[in-house]
Amino acid sequence: MQSRKVGSQSEHTRTVVVAVDISKDTFTAYFRCLLTGKQRSVRSYPYHRKGVEQLYDEAQKFAAENGSMHMILGLESTGVYHLGMVEFFKDKPVEIQQVNTLHVKRMKDITDNTPTKTDWKDPRVIADLIELGRGLRMGVAEEVFLELRQLTHARERVIADYTAVGNKLSNLVHILFPEFHRFFTNIHGSTARKMLKMYPLPSQIGQLGENDLYDFLKKESRGRYNREFAEGLFEAAKASLGCVQGAQNYITEIHVLIDLCELMYKAKKSYEDRIYSLITELPLAKVLLSFKGVGPMTTATILGEYTGFEGFETIAEVLKYAGMNLTECSSGKLHGRRRLAKRGRPLIRKILYFAAMNMVRKGNEFHDKYQRYINAGKPKVAALMAIARKILRIMFAMSKSGQSFNKEYAQKYLKAA
């Protein structure tokens, strides 16, 4: 789903705001009529279908009593608990708006002049924000963009888990065979995993013998490791400082972690295969992929997060949605540094940062621009984020024009930071 800023609620004088604060098993709701100012106190409901249906029935009755023709459902944009309620209301004659959690946190004093934040207080604060026009309209994304978003997020989660399990595996291997990492820098490599499955202890490598070890490594690596490598590993195993006490328990855990890594790698590959399949069917994806340096995963992430840029009219909206708009704190003679706001989609910033790293290499589109930033004294990270902003500008322009990448056409976007 995508969000979009709406105007002041003074435009909707016959509007009822139904503000809800959702937790795992329950939710609280508060009603307010913007025309009459009439309110209904906060009430609690069980968070299941009957509870949500009861809320809708009571909201309709409240709206009818106050002569209201327009209803807004307001909620915080946090976690996943709100998704079931959004699914229920998406086909109803109700406008769904979300408010920034940070705004709720900072406005909580207005309701009762206290810093408390509770499930009974938050719905009133949410209603205040919506009445002030600080709600963001939620629309339902096209199915293909929604699936792209789900897949890219699932891929990110499995990569994070894969890295965490790999770190645990490295720690256990260091206990049994500290010298192992000198020979296999990538513990996720197929030969390294096979070694750990078959011969996790240095003593087992010693019993295998130098010649058999060489034959094993040659076969598993398809000739990548030579005899000199095998000799070095064999000598390191004989002189290892590895711990032998409780070794069997460590070996069992190592085997479990290796199996987990293999499962997660397969899941990641499955997500990526589905992502590649989806973007080959999208004309807009083909346009964005004509931008040298923008790969399939970057394209899929941008299209999923921005839902194909539908509903985004200006580059300012696009940058702000990603938290890549510039902000500063200045007062009087004090002028603060301009920096990224970072109040937006972190995955967009991450994927564009890595795209920028690829596109500033020598011979690529942004190499000269990046070097000018560095020569001017800009830190490397700041220079890369400036390039990332430019990449996003060009991708947005391409999506609106439907034109493939053209260097001359893109020059005006390269001038803006």
2-140 architecture in CATH?
2-Layer Sandwich (3.30)
Pick from 59, 33, 66: which is nearest to 45 by CA? 59
* pLDDT the model gives residue 101: 83
- Residue 407's CB is within 10 A of a number of other CB atoms, namely 9
Residues of the chain with CATH 3.30.420.140: 2-140
What 8-state DSSP symbol labels residue 64? H
Q: What is the pLDDT of residue 9?
A: 42
Residue position matching structure tokens 């490791």? 225
Q: Is the pLDDT of residue 329 over 60?
A: yes
Q: Name 315's Cβ contacts closer than 8 Å, sequence gap at least 6.
A: 392, 393, 396, 397, 416
Residue 6: pLDDT band (50, 70, 90) is very low
| Buried b / exposed e along 226-261 (16+ C-beta atoms within 10 A) | eeebbeebbebbeebebeeeeeeebbeebeebbebb
Res. 375: pLDDT tops 60: yes
Residue 207: pLDDT above 70? yes
Mean pLDDT of 157-162: 97
Predicted local distance difference test score (pLDDT) of residue 106: 83
364: confidence class by pLDDT, cuts 50, 70, 90: confident
Predicted confidence at residue 2, as pLDDT, reads: 45
Positions of CATH 1.10.287.4070 in the chain:
148-275
| Residue with more model confidence, 312 or 138 | 312
Average pLDDT of 141-146?
83
Per the DSSP assignment, residues forming a β-bridge with 32 are: 17, 39
Q: Are 342 and 318 in contact (CB under 8 A)?
A: no
More confident call, 330 vs 240: 240
Give the global pTM.
Answer: 0.83
> What local confidence, expressed as pLDDT, does residue 80 receive?
82
Q: Are 251 and 200 in contact (CB under 8 A)?
A: yes
Alpha-carbon Rg for the chain, nearest whole angstrom, is 28
Evaluate whether the domain defined by 148-275 bears CATH number 1.10.287.4070.
Answer: yes
Average pLDDT over residues 170-198: 94
